[in-house]
Chain A
Amino acid sequence: MSQTNIADTSAGKRVMWTYMLTGLGIFFLMVLVGIAMRAAQAGWIGIDPGTFYSLLSLHGIGMITAMAIAGLGILWYFVSRYTPLNQGVAFLAYGFFLAGVASVIISVIPGHYGALWTALYPLPFTGTYWPNWATGAWLIGNSLVMIGFMIWCAQILGALLARFGGVRGILAIDYVFKNREFTQSGKEPPPPEMFAAAITAIDGFIGGTAGLLVVVALIVHWIDPSVAIDPLWAKNLIYQFGHTFANLTMYMAVAGVYVGLPMCTKRAYHTSIPLAIAWWGTLTFVIIAYFHHLYMDFAQLQFVQYVGEISSYLAAIPVVVVTVFGGVMLVHRSGMKWSVGSMFLFAGMIGWVVGGLGAVLDATIPINIELHNTLWVPAHFHTYLLEGVLLFIMGWAFVNLEQRAGSASSLLTRWLIGTGMFGGGALFLLPFYIAGADGVPRRYATEPTPGPYYAGVATVGAAILLLGFLLAIIEAVRLARSKNTSVAA
């Protein structure tokens, strides 16, 4: 698809910024919740266990939803550059997201729901310290987010199928298998960011289906307790949705690298055969990689445990290798000037590799026996989200703002933001890894020694990271206000 066909629209940008700012706003609130929890685990502030589990529930689902909303906005804008999209649908989905978030907040703040995002059956219904309505509000909130996500996926899927010639076109099947004929006919494969959009829409639809099924079943059980639910069935479905949704946040945000880095380097990021095949790997395996969450479930069929391990490798490794290699080659000797935007996009690739490596290690069965449900697990996904997804989102935002302003941030500002985001991030994340390797369990309000010591270090790290984030926001506002109309956005 020729790059000359790109059409920037104000509607596209409106949707993108609305989604992105909402996502970053929720992220900020969730960081405060996260810092409070780590400080409580360090013994620095007092939070009773019930409140802790309510906050943990809010933090977990809030962070993933925040990153997803921001990422979906970016992808929506990218797709809108190739095919007209109705912004009413995007705002309808957005309305569902907001309603879902509101319902979740109601279930947690006045309701004290505390069964975490997994709501593992029969946990949210039996022996709870919160009222029954809070469980209902949680489930309804989840279903609203899922419906919003399904609306987004259906819109994007329809647009991509129409624009790029069906599934064959959007997945570049002819480009891979009949490459010579394809290129000789003057055709071009979809640009890299369209793979990210297609995989998000397709796998998102599959994950949303699983999520909606289990949430409907749980809502029915909430209304009518005589309806039994199979616990293992529910766990499979909830993790299929949850793991896929969380993983897809990365694939949404990585589209920012495909578009943002070329803007910084003045070089194009082309679709290649390895890139297309790597994305096929993600498309196929990301929906079944979740089995690695059920390694300890003895009732699970044994062969799917191996499927989970292999899928975890194949979903992530090819696309990371191809994308990062392409990104590094793009930057290499390009004469690119470092700015906050390019720094975030480049550092995000490092965070993706480190977090992904942590995930791959944890998905390896002999290692998982040691690390399962230790702090290693939050170590890898916090790396993935904070130093990967978040940086890609902020990197893309900064690249836009810098181009719009026609100027970049000062060296001192870059250093301060970098020190906060990467230095604070490292200080926050390393204690998770070390404590996890030490066997400190996750999801406990009170951690055994040496957990509280590591929690203290992590609290300091998270506070520094928050300062870096706030500084970045202030710098973003400055760039936004110093608009240079002579420079094209």
Chain B
Amino acid sequence: MSVKKILGWIILALTVLVALIPLVRGAVEIPIPQHHLIHAALIAGGLLSALLLATPSRDVGSGHYGWLLLAVFSPFAAMLLMWPSEYAWYERHASGHILEHLGILGLGFITGYAGQRYAAGVGWATGLSVVFMAVASAWGFGVAHAISPMVTTGTTAQSAATSAAQMLRSPDLALGGKLFAQNCAVCHGAHGVGGEGPSLIAEKSRKNFAQAQQWIMNPSPPMPKFYPAVLTRSDVRDVAAYIETL
């Protein structure tokens, strides 16, 4: 076995070890951008090992375009695995988290390996493409930055910008839970198990996120209307997001 291949196997083994970290670390909540970057590192490890292990094809005229399809589709699949709203669930379920990590690592590997098997050099292009996607995700996929208040001079403009910024960020589950306890739990019970009002357990299967928000903003009697007097638009999103987790 050549030095290159040995190095490829070592990098692959080390990357798999990194992917298994959730097994020993337990449930730790990591912000979405950092989570994306960890995934980018797994993809990069898988890619690098693939580029070292693959025997590049020097012939592009005779077919093998199954490899090409794999190389082009794997980045697409990797991005779908990096579904930001599922990260909270993965952090609570170590085995699911490991599978997700191995899937992402595997797709990084396949991207590079299949690309090289199709034609020498293509693995580098497809591989760098998927690494770029994963890294760039940290700045906007499941993440929204507050709008700069640089152009706001009056309080109205400032509050509009702040409100818009709140709407653009990911829902705050902790805040949603707190608001639920303050305003909803008296009828729906602690953690939504039901009481005077109906149980909200598995409400996600009955209403999607948009429908849940609509219901909170415009409920039918006897449910009281908390929006906009008690809950802001942003609060409604947080509460709806919390209910979706029940």
Contacts and interface: CB of A to CB of B under 8 A. Distances in A.
B63 A226 contact: no
Nearest to A155: B68
Count class of interface residues, chain A: 35 or more
A359 to B, nearest CB: 27
Count class of interface residues, chain B: 35 or more
B62 interface: yes
B142 interface: yes
Contacts of B73: 147
Interface string B225-236: 000000000000
Contacts of B136: 210, 213, 233, 237
A209 B59 CA distance: 25
Contact of A209 (B115, B129, B237): B129
Given A154-B118, A209-B132, A162 B60 contact: yes
Interface string A140-166: 000100010011011101110110001
A229 interface: yes
B150 A162 contact: no
A212 interface: yes
A158 B65 contact: no
B241 A226 contact: yes
B15 interface: no
Contact of A229 (B115, B119, B144, B147): B144
Nearest to A80: B61
A224 interface: yes
Contacts of B85: 224, 226-227
A89 B64 CA distance: 10
Given A158-B121, A159-B60, A298-B151, A231 B144 contact: yes
B144 A228 contact: yes
A364 to B, nearest CB: 24
Given A217-B137, A224-B83, A226-B209, A89 B143 contact: no
B65 A162 contact: no
Nearest to A146: B76
A213 to B, nearest CB: 5
A228 B137 CA distance: 11
Interface stretch (B23-31, B167-175, B189-197): B167-175
B75 A212 contact: yes
Given A158-B121, A227-B83, A230-B145, A85 B140 contact: no
A123 interface: no
A89 B129 contact: no
Contacts of B140: 217, 229-230, 232-234, 237
9 contacts: A158-B121, A161-B121, A162-B119, A209-B133, A227-B84, A227-B170, A231-B168, A233-B136, A233-B139
Interface of B: 58-63, 65, 68-69, 71-73, 75-76, 79-80, 83-85, 115, 118-122, 125-126, 129, 132-133, 136-137, 139-145, 147-148, 150-151, 168-171, 208-210, 237, 241, 244
| Closest 3 A/B residue pairs (Cβ) | A233-B140, A158-B119, A84-B61
